[in-house]
Amino acid sequence: MHALEKILARASGKAKVSAGEIVMAEVDVAEVNDLYLQVIKSFDDLGGKRVRHPEKTTFVFDHYSPAPTIKAADNHRKMREFCASQGIPHLFDIGEGVCHQVLTESGMVGPGTVVVETDSHTTTMGALGAFGTGVGATDMATILITGKLWFKVPRVMKVIFEGMPPKDVMAKDMILHVLGDLKQDAAIYRAVEFSGETVRRMPQEERFVLCNMAVEMGAKTAYIAPDDITHDYLARFGWQKQEIFETDPDYEYETAVRYDVSSLTPRIALPGSVDAVSAIPEKKIHVDQVFLGTCTGGRLNDIRVAAEILKGKKVNSGTRFVVIPASRRIFQDALLAGYIETLVDAGAVLSTPGCGPCLGAHEGILAPGETCVTTSSRNFPGRMGSTEAGIYIASPATAAATALKGYLCGADSL
């Protein structure tokens, strides 16, 4: 069996499961974000009285944090009241950060756990050796009532990275390259495992990026086999080592693809589609706003890279540079390291940890005709504001270089 199959077997009380099988599995961590007041409504509609496992349940206010509208504020109020009435101890209120990052720092998630959130980018948890996936409101309400959910055991495809990437090439460039090659439908209801010497050398923060973006290929979940780097990261947050599930040597992957990243150059996704990937064009494209943040690009390593590029320099006068750390802890660490001071001195605008303009709700949405370079994960029309705005997806290094020059460019060109 694959490690993911072993995780689902353990969670469903089975000795063995196989691809295509339907299992009823215990959920180790259930997370509801502030987009989904419908979870509480569905809980009531389904006859829910008490949350089965309040200690395994979390609410995170991240998409509308702080509340930008009366409706969002009222949703927060109702969620706070629900948590209080149900004895749910894990309420991460405004300013704590993006749900996926907050959970990795909570001490609740680690290798072998089943994690379900009301957000598609829960595939991020695969970088910790967990089975992580997103669901809608009714499924989440079912979990709150029963503690369980059904899963179809996914087939697994492997993406192998080899070689040492050039200095200014990051995990975001690598996963964009894969998306451009395989396209958005390559992994529909499959698991994607990332492996290879390149991944083994990656810091934990970069591994999160690969698993996070797997959902843009249609993946149900993602996976990177945990190692000492994983355990060192988790130890910072109090995670205690538990049973580790390893993939059997004779496991047969549905498919495997290899990429040598030794000569890879910075990649971008062109406006309109995350799999319309290319190298950075030679033509100078003016950029109105650069956004560094989200569950894909707002971690300490991303902020560090931007600070190093902008240290002692200024953001271009015709470009706005919005920086939003992915969590309060990351914000604090970046402050202590001096990165925030560097970025503010350079002219960046800092906002509250959370999703920010990623979903076009607040803290930097786009006007018609504007162009944005973002480290987030999606760029379809209207994602960050006006449907008439153009959104390029890029790495933190490319984003920072673009903020410096005012036109789309990679850090390798500085």
267-321 pLDDT, tens digit per residue, is: 999 999 999 999 999 999 999 999 999 999 999 999 999 999 999 999 999 999 9
Please give the helix or strand (H or E) that residue 255 lies within, else none: strand 255-260
Sheet holding 349-350, edge to edge: 277-279, 267-269, 390-393, 371-374, 289-293, 320-324, 349-350
Measured at the CA of 262, the angle between CA 257 and CA 266, to 5 degrees, comes to 90
* Mean per-residue pLDDT over the chain, rounded: 97
Distant-in-sequence, close-in-space partners of 37: CB < 8 Å, separation ≥ 6: 75, 78, 79
Closest to 127 in 3D by CA, of 241, 30, 204: 204
pLDDT at position 67 is: 97
> What is the average per-residue pLDDT within 352-381?
97
115-125 pLDDT, tens digit per residue, is: 999 999 999 99
12-62 pLDDT, tens digit per residue, is: 999 999 999 999 999 999 999 999 999 999 999 999 999 999 999 999 999
| Domains defined for the chain, CATH in brackets | 3-258 (3.30.499.10), 269-413 (3.30.499.10)
String of DSSP letters for 24-39 = EEE-SEEEEETT-THH
Q: How confident is the model at residue 240 (pLDDT cuts 50, 70, 90)?
A: confident
Q: How confident is the model at residue 242 (pLDDT cuts 50, 70, 90)?
A: confident
pLDDT at position 117 is: 98
User: Alpha-carbon distance 246 to 306, whole Å?
Assistant: 36
Tokens for 22? 């339907």
pLDDT at position 7 is: 98
User: Alpha-carbon distance 113 to 105, whole Å?
Assistant: 15
Tokens for 201? 């050398």
User: Alpha-carbon distance 265 to 370, whole Å?
Assistant: 26
In the chain, the amino acid numbered 274 is: V
Per DSSP bridges, beta strands 155-162 and 190-195 are parallel
List residues bridging with 290 in a β-sheet. Answer: 321, 373
Is the bond into 66 cis (omega within 30 degrees of 0)? Answer: yes
79-112 pLDDT, tens digit per residue, is: 999 999 999 999 999 999 999 999 999 999 999 9
Distant-in-sequence, close-in-space partners of 250: CB < 8 Å, separation ≥ 6: none
Please check the confidence at residue 70 and state whether its pLDDT lies above 90. Answer: yes
Measured at the CA of 367, the angle between CA 362 and CA 370, to 5 degrees, comes to 120
Per DSSP bridges, beta strands 277-279 and 267-269 are antiparallel
Tokens for 136? 């809608």
pTM, two decimals, is 0.97
Please check the confidence at residue 243 and state whether its pLDDT lies above 90. Answer: no
Tokens for 392? 């390029």
Percent of the chain surpassing pLDDT 70: 100
Please check the confidence at residue 241 and state whether its pLDDT lies above 90. Answer: no
Length of the chain: 414
Tokens for 162? 């080899």
Distant-in-sequence, close-in-space partners of 386: CB < 8 Å, separation ≥ 6: 365, 366, 367, 368, 369, 370
> What is the average per-residue pLDDT within 190-219?
98
DSSP state of 244: P
pLDDT at position 106 is: 96
DSSP-based three-state secondary structure for 10: helix
pLDDT at position 244 is: 80
Beta strands in 165-241 (DSSP E): 190-195, 221-223
